[in-house]
Amino acid sequence: MEIGAAMNSGLQGMQRANQQVSQASQEIASASASGRNDVQQQDNANVNGAQTATESASETSQSVTATNTTDSLVSLNQGQTNFEANTRTVETADEVLGTMIDTNA
């Protein structure tokens, strides 16, 4: 039954997209928490007089965090788009199945 295969494919795609969105969300939250920790460490180092070395390390860390956050945001958007596309697949299979049932009744 082709409609069943389309329905299953759409549902599996929705599950994969959901996992992608969850993972990207966790990465974004982790990067945000990491950024707050970097600022706190920099403030502590400034108080202790180690400002120059900490600024260089902080800039590198912020650059990596920004790149990771950007990648995670792109992944989040892709997951959302994939979920929406698979939702349309399931809706279409449902409509076709409904039409077939109505036709046979």
H or E element, residue 94? helix 51-104
Q: Are 89 and 4 in contact (CB under 8 A)?
A: no
Q: What is the C-alpha separation between 38 and 19, in angstroms, rounded?
A: 28
Calculate the alpha carbon distances from 58 to 39, 63, 81, 86 in Å. 8, 8, 34, 41
Tell me the pLDDT tens digit for each residue of 37-87: 655 555 555 556 655 555 555 555 566 677 789 999 999 999 999 999 999
Q: What is the C-alpha separation between 43 and 58, in angstroms, rounded?
A: 11
pTM for the model stands at 0.70
**Six token digits for residue 91:** 């809706």
Q: What is the C-alpha separation between 98 and 92, in angstroms, rounded?
A: 10
Tell me the pLDDT tens digit for each residue of 6-30: 999 999 999 999 999 999 999 999 9
